[in-house]
Structure 1
Amino acid sequence: MSKLTKKDKIEIYERRKNGETISSLAKAFNTRESNIKYLIALIEKHGYDILRNGKNRIYSKEFKLQTINRILINNESINSVAIDIGLASNGILHNWLSKFKENEYNVVEKKKGRKPKSMTKLKRNNKVLSEKDKIKLLEDEIIYLKAENGILKKIESSSSRKGAKREEKVRVIAELRAKYPFKMLLKIAGISRSVYYYYIDKKDIDEKNKDIIEKIKEIYYVNKGRYGYRRVTLELKNQGLNINHKKVQRLMKKFNLQSIVRKKRKYSSYKGQIGKIADNHIKRNFEATAPNQKWFTDVTEFNLRGEKLYLSPILDAYGRYIVSYDISHSANLEQINHMLNLAFKENENYENLIFHSDQGWQYQHYSYQKKLKEKKITQSMSRKGNSLDNGLMECFFGLLKSEMFYDQEEKYKTLEELKEAIEDYIYYYNNKRIKEKLKGLTPASYRSQSLLVS
């Protein structure tokens, strides 16, 4: 397979625009059809400027990690990410991912060429500096200030003490060494070369934790960054590893494994009015001692660049299990009826069940009330304008959107892709996502455990 020049790539694109088929272009240039398709998409996204001449581009360790996280955590495809960041081929990204996993979920940066030269003082020799020398002097001063700022920021963010220890300074220098001259960093930190190498050559205290670290990273990436140290600790326990939560927290912090942070809602103390259709039988008592004692429902909207989807689930207070749900392009009565039919298909006894909702028009409709009465279910409604009366649903919607939708809208190209992602998440939530309050069990396992006992 021949290597394509920049001229070849432009010719391929032009010929494709003129109607020539992918297969004929692949034969003409002795390359795979997939390469032709990738090239066309790349040029359409970035234009001819993306076609490089000469040396390969060099990507930083931070950039590679951000890119890898888009695939492992945000679930974007390798091809789309490679095109978006302008890689010459998606094989480069495949290689990054392979090495990342081989090196126990670490990005290993290959250093090329000579080490960066340290900042040197210009010899003035009592002569007036030329414009070129002045520019060089200013550039060196800027690099020095940036390096100084970088060291101070990292030390301040990781140390609450007034004076950082030598080990901390050495760690920061090691992190910044590829970015700034080594001698410059030593001077700013006030560390000698011998002291630096003394601490660098000391054995990593976490060398003995190699297997645990690998397992923590595996749990973190499998769950797409949704687990904090507490949930990771529980999952380790489920897998037979009793590790102290403080140790897990320290290791996750060391390897920058940060969980998705949910945005908190402002508390509302508005009392509202009692609903005319049904009283509030829940009264913010969201706990249950067995399945099918208290159910909650509501509808939430997903707005994807002006197009909308509506999710209507039923949540059981016991274990916070999603009993059934429906996803629709409009919030209508058909959606509610379908959700109820799915929930009632087991033909269980619902006589003592309280079913809570807000005062939405769907829940005031005659057909909805009739279905509940037929099953001898007690209908309950929140007070008017008081979302906290239906707090379990508010909590679930907040969790769902923060973990798979907010700040991730760009990865969903169509409503169908978003719908599949919601369905995948609900399955993950019920069957894979462990909860601390459930003693490390998933909602489905917790529910099944209770049903087996009964």
Structure 2
Amino acid sequence: MFQVSESAYYAQLRQCSKSNKYGRLSLDIEALFDESRGAAGKRTLKARLQHKGMKVGLARIRKLMKQQGLESKQPKKRYSYPLIEEQTMPFNSLLNRKFSPDSQTSVLCGDTTYLKVNGEWHYLAVVLNVAQRQVVGWRLQRKYNAELVVEALNPAMLTTVRTKEMIFHSDQGSVYRSYPFTQCVKRHGLIQSMSRRGNCWDNAPMERWFRSFKYEWMLKKGGCVIVGSKGGY
């Protein structure tokens, strides 16, 4: 009969218990990762595990994710494209990162991005109502020009309730500084506001919406982009 020392027996018992523990943890991590549609990274997973009463270090989560081949979707570097049009000087930032307007103020935020549809690059402009956190206007087209943002703002104004103060906020993109767009803003009675250069958080609601849209809600199949019906976040 093969005999094992008492210390070796209990060491083996602890090892088995540890393996079972991390086996269950791996399943929890995989489930939470799938719930996020592949968007959650190790820090997000740690926060969600803590919410469930499980205290786990980032190093352990990273190791278990690597073992399961789970890799968070990360945004790619954005590129700016020059626009050959008459442009105005940048406007001041009127929001000061206050994204909860009162009942007398309406705030619309706008931004653009690019995505591939049926294997071809398109540009998407979106207008977000900050108070409702809902998309109220959008435009998808092949060309990056002033028409892109003008045609996103026009339908947005059809459903936006008029208030005492009306603000449109964006980054300092060339299309938002173009003459056709600034005139469109004036026709709608909006006050134009722009983020400070190098301060992406000045337009945080739009940045957050685009991140959720592109890395959680936008489904990709082959070379075709399938856009979901979710309008808010």
Fold conserved (TM > 0.5)? yes
Corresponding position: 1:252 with 2:64: no
Distance 1:345 1:372, change over 3 A: same
Corresponding position: 1:280 with 2:89: no
Deviation at 1:259, TM superposition (A): 2.8
CA distance in 2, matches of 1:359, 1:261: 23
Query: What is residue 301 of structure 1 aligned with on the other side?
Result: 114
Instruction: Report matched runs for 1:226-245 at 5 Å.
Output: 226-232=39-45, 242-244=52-54
CA distance in 2, matches of 1:255, 1:289: 39
Instruction: Report matched runs for 1:124-203 at 5 Å.
Output: 199=12, 202-203=15-16
Identity over aligned pairs, percent: 21
Query: What is residue 29 of structure 1 aligned with on the other side?
Result: none
Corresponding position: 1:339 with 2:152: yes
CA distance in 2, matches of 1:211, 1:278: 54
* Greater helix fraction, Structure 1 or Structure 2: 1
If asked which structure has higher relative contact order (CA below 8 Å, sep 6+), I would say: 2
Query: What is residue 35 of structure 2 aligned with on the other side?
Result: 222
Given that 1:313 and 1:325 are in contact with CA atoms closer than 8 Å, whether structure 2 keeps it comes out as yes
Given that 2:88 and 2:177 are in contact with CA atoms closer than 8 Å, whether structure 1 keeps it comes out as no
- Size of the aligned set, in residue pairs, is 208
What's the CA shift string for 1:42-62, capped at 9, x where partnerless?
xxxxxxxxxxxxxxxxxxxxx
The correspondence for 1:349, drawn from 162, 168, 185, is: 162
Deviation at 1:305, TM superposition (A): 11
Deviation at 1:227, TM superposition (A): 0.9
Given that 2:122 and 2:140 are in contact with CA atoms closer than 8 Å, whether structure 1 keeps it comes out as yes
Corresponding position: 1:364 with 2:178: yes
What's the CA shift string for 1:417-453, capped at 9, x where partnerless?
13x2xx33x83xx65xxxxxxxxxxx3xxxxxxxxxx
Given that 1:236 and 1:242 are in contact with CA atoms closer than 8 Å, whether structure 2 keeps it comes out as yes
CA distance in 1, matches of 2:177, 2:45: 39
CA distance in 1, matches of 2:52, 2:92: 44
Query: What is residue 100 of structure 2 aligned with on the other side?
Result: 289
* Greater strand fraction, Structure 1 or Structure 2: 2
Given that 2:176 and 2:182 are in contact with CA atoms closer than 8 Å, whether structure 1 keeps it comes out as no
Query: What is residue 123 of structure 2 aligned with on the other side?
Result: 310
CA distance in 2, matches of 1:300, 1:361: 12
2:56 counterpart letter in structure 1: K
Secondary structure of the structure 1 residue equivalent to 2:140: strand
Given that 2:123 and 2:141 are in contact with CA atoms closer than 8 Å, whether structure 1 keeps it comes out as yes
Given that 1:351 and 1:375 are in contact with CA atoms closer than 8 Å, whether structure 2 keeps it comes out as no
Query: What is residue 329 of structure 1 aligned with on the other side?
Result: 142
Q: Which runs of 5+ in 2 are unaligned?
A: 1-6, 79-86
Deviation at 1:377, TM superposition (A): 1.7
Deviation at 1:281, TM superposition (A): 3.2
CA distance in 2, matches of 1:236, 1:228: 12
Q: Which runs of 5+ in 1 are unaligned?
A: 1-193, 266-274, 405-410, 432-442, 444-454
1:348 counterpart letter in structure 2: V
CA distance in 2, matches of 1:389, 1:210: 40
What's the CA shift string for 1:90-138, capped at 9, x where partnerless?
xxxxxxxxxxxxxxxxxxxxxxxxxxxxxxxxxxxxxxxxxxxxxxxxx
Superposed structure 1 runs of 4+ greater than 6 Å apart: 194-197, 208-212, 303-306
Secondary structure of the structure 1 residue equivalent to 2:165: coil
Query: What is residue 3 of structure 2 aligned with on the other side?
Result: none
CA distance in 1, matches of 2:155, 2:163: 14
RMSD, aligned CA: 4.7
CA distance in 2, matches of 1:196, 1:287: 61
Given that 2:145 and 2:175 are in contact with CA atoms closer than 8 Å, whether structure 1 keeps it comes out as no
1:295 counterpart letter in structure 2: L
Distance 1:375 1:382, change over 3 A: same
